[in-house]
Structure 1
């Protein structure tokens, strides 16, 4: 049959693209359905790439990492318009989307543009402006991503009240901003706009941010956010509010503690849901979990054996880096390619706040809960010559968690400039069960930020020998 395929992938985000290309590489007939006119899904269009590009733009325009370091200040934010702010984001997303399209074409993946929905467990219909096409598949992979959760009490209008999608399309800078939610998205956007000199509030329903982080890293980031002028309102929430017809009037945001915020814009950043609306998964008998996610096993296989799901649509951890590999593992399982059977359970988290935060392995709190006899070692950016050259403004530091009896490194936690880059040496150290002395014996280019690892190991050994132990609380100059 003309429209019959070995695999049909729904969604062209990081998970869907990599799965489709891998299956095609192994000479399977593959089709991909994308409902948007552009490729890349949230990873390229509304999430990973655009927000990270905006962060780099904010750093450049604000001169955050240059103030007072080179005897002159470069601060362009006051002269920059919204077009300047959005320029690089638009360019990067456009180029990345085009590369996805080229990659699919290179591997002879047939592309259908339109809304996919299940007819039955092996049949999909694709509805577009040109009509309806029927597609048959031996295997199906759902990689439709997620969308921002919209609670009914929030008056989203995409002009002044935003979710993490619409905030990328603002046509002016807000005079002030309230962010609801101190998760990854909320913290990233709060620090981004604060770097641009915008008065920013973060409202969070608990007394901590980013609860999966090591507590000293999270506390360090909170301190840095406050130093940047961000007001963090812990153990709080917002009540119902309206958008005034007069856009010159501020939004009046009532808080649960009785206070009232008057701000120009509002960003809801407190959750996402699986993007399965319109798919009619019930026609294929697919089991659905909480927040419209699809339930899968360790091979990303649904309860319907020939149907798989990967990426944000299956929920945690909802990271582009993991989603790509989930797609590849799913293809390996469905076609028995025997090249990538499982994903490593040790992977890094990268949070693109200002400053960046990244981690891999066990936190100190996890080591305590698991009853591990552990030690810690610290090194601060300012204590390395590379950090001195950079003129570290963030009081950044690296923290190691290691087992005391073997000196094996169990976790690496970093807050500071380029943390999401330099974490990868820590990833290898944790995966390979490297010891403190093995890291000390490693030769790095000099001067580089990788010296953080070496001197954190020295500090850890010193603490075991009863020397003075550095603490993250010493990060103040």
Structure 2
């Protein structure tokens, strides 16, 4: 029964995937639910993340496909790319998807406030534009994350740069794009713009991109960037950025290693942070981490009994499907009397480089750290499709196996359609698949994926000799 002492049974702050799922499911029980979203319904994924990014990946990939078609007998005439045409279609689709989110909430009976909500206390929120104050028995924080930017004091000239939020709004292609960072956002956009014919440079403080991924995957992606024509500069960072008016490449990026790079667009892709600044969490007594993430338990509960949080704002696993499952679990637990919480282990993940990465389970390093000895099966090969088209890129496949029970701890793929493969493999990993299960599975020939079930030889590291 609804608590009539509050304006709402549930108030959700944030209209992204996690918050929308929770609000819609709660409202379908007859609960009085509201959502406040200060920008556009759909959140990072739909508006300025996975969806428009994947469209850009598709767009950049067509150039390579056209080039490779000659090897299969296709005669291709003069071709050109019109960024304005593509961008218009991409933004129209984003608008359509955002509208669907809005309609689904409205159809479920959710009240929508298109403005920012901030905490007054543990059960009270102030809507910033209208000044209205509302109360709720339960409040769900689902405000996501935002790109992190260094301050002008730490990086002079940072105001001349853009982030992954603004990259989608470029009306024309850059002449020379410089990207700071080596995470998935940095490497994905480096491939995108290189594929669109843009001179692209990536600057990374480490020695190999994609820190936290399996080492073989990191090496394959790093080499793939260079094969795609991306200039990769490692072990240095930006020192300052100067703007010179009237130049064809008006931005001069000064690196800590003493070198300079001239560009017309500079993108900062150096991490993301939970979007909790000025949310009023201190007024509600909600505990946050040093990085600003809302601290929650496995049930997405904060330290305040009336407040929960899901999605990127908790800094657990910053993936849209994870936010959706967390929001779903919250709604069914609190409004359907079906208590469950999401299991964050063995989540399949993709990085949409070209070729793309698909990974699920443990890296080799993490497995060795936990179990000591592990068995490794891996292969690198040129796929059948590339034998005629001139593409020299190779596929990497790797299995990490626990020796005592032969349980497969991790699967890592770098190659075309790796994301599609890893989604199916993720089911098997979640079920506790063993290496003999892989071995008993009949290969589907000819396919790239058949290599997953035909690897029989354990990989043994090469032993170097000083003699």
User: What TM-score comes out, normalization by structure 2 length?
Assistant: 0.90
Query: Equivalent residue of 1:104, what SS?
Result: helix
Aligned to 2:116: 115
Aligned to 2:94: 93
Say whether the 8 Å CA contact 2:18–2:324 is kept in structure 1.
yes
Q: How big is the shift at 1:11?
A: 0.7
Say whether the 8 Å CA contact 1:53–1:92 is kept in structure 2.
no
Aligned to 1:47: 49
Q: Which runs of 5+ in 1 are unaligned?
A: 464-468, 473-477
Report Cα offsets for 1:126-153 as digits up to 9, x if no partner.
233xx33222100000111111112122
Q: How big is the shift at 1:190?
A: 0.7
In structure 2, C-alpha distance between the alignment counterparts of 1:386 and 1:69, rounded to whole Å: 10
Say whether the 8 Å CA contact 1:65–1:393 is kept in structure 2.
no
In structure 1, C-alpha distance between the alignment counterparts of 2:156 and 2:76, rounded to whole Å: 39
Q: How big is the shift at 1:185?
A: 0.7
Say whether the 8 Å CA contact 1:12–1:39 is kept in structure 2.
yes
Q: Any residues of structure 2 matched to 1:243-392 within 5 Å, and which?
A: 243-246=243-246, 248-335=248-335, 337-338=337-338, 340-380=340-380, 382=382
Q: What is the RMSD computed on CA atoms of the aligned residues? A: 2.6
In structure 1, C-alpha distance between the alignment counterparts of 2:157 and 2:10, rounded to whole Å: 41
Report Cα offsets for 1:161-215 as digits up to 9, x if no partner.
2111111101111111111000111111111111112111111111121121111
Query: Equivalent residue of 1:291, what SS?
Result: coil
- Higher mean C-alpha deviation, range 331-340 or range 98-107: 331-340
Structure 1 residues 371 and 278, CA, compared in 2 at 3 Å: closer, same or farther?
closer
Say whether the 8 Å CA contact 1:250–1:263 is kept in structure 2.
yes
Say whether the 8 Å CA contact 1:205–1:237 is kept in structure 2.
yes
Aligned to 1:182: 182
Query: Equivalent residue of 2:240, what SS?
Result: coil
Aligned to 1:439: 438
Say whether the 8 Å CA contact 1:155–1:241 is kept in structure 2.
yes
In structure 2, C-alpha distance between the alignment counterparts of 1:452 and 1:470, rounded to whole Å: 18
Structure 1 residues 9 and 391, CA, compared in 2 at 3 Å: closer, same or farther?
farther
In structure 1, C-alpha distance between the alignment counterparts of 2:410 and 2:109, rounded to whole Å: 42
Aligned to 1:400: 399
Q: How big is the shift at 1:241?
A: 1.7
In structure 1, C-alpha distance between the alignment counterparts of 2:77 and 2:378, rounded to whole Å: 32
Report Cα offsets for 1:31-56 as digits up to 9, x if no partner.
111112x3101111111111111111
Structure 1 residues 10 and 260, CA, compared in 2 at 3 Å: closer, same or farther?
same
In structure 2, C-alpha distance between the alignment counterparts of 1:449 and 1:227, rounded to whole Å: 21
Query: Equivalent residue of 1:292, what SS?
Result: coil
In structure 2, C-alpha distance between the alignment counterparts of 1:61 and 1:94, rounded to whole Å: 26
Structure 1 residues 447 and 249, CA, compared in 2 at 3 Å: closer, same or farther?
closer
In structure 1, C-alpha distance between the alignment counterparts of 2:126 and 2:77, rounded to whole Å: 53
Structure 1 residues 471 and 232, CA, compared in 2 at 3 Å: closer, same or farther?
farther
Say whether the 8 Å CA contact 2:126–2:134 is kept in structure 1.
yes
In structure 2, C-alpha distance between the alignment counterparts of 1:348 and 1:389, rounded to whole Å: 32
Q: How big is the shift at 1:286?
A: 1.4
Q: Which runs of 5+ in 2 are unaligned?
A: 463-467
Counterpart of 2:61 (choices 59, 62, 69) is 59
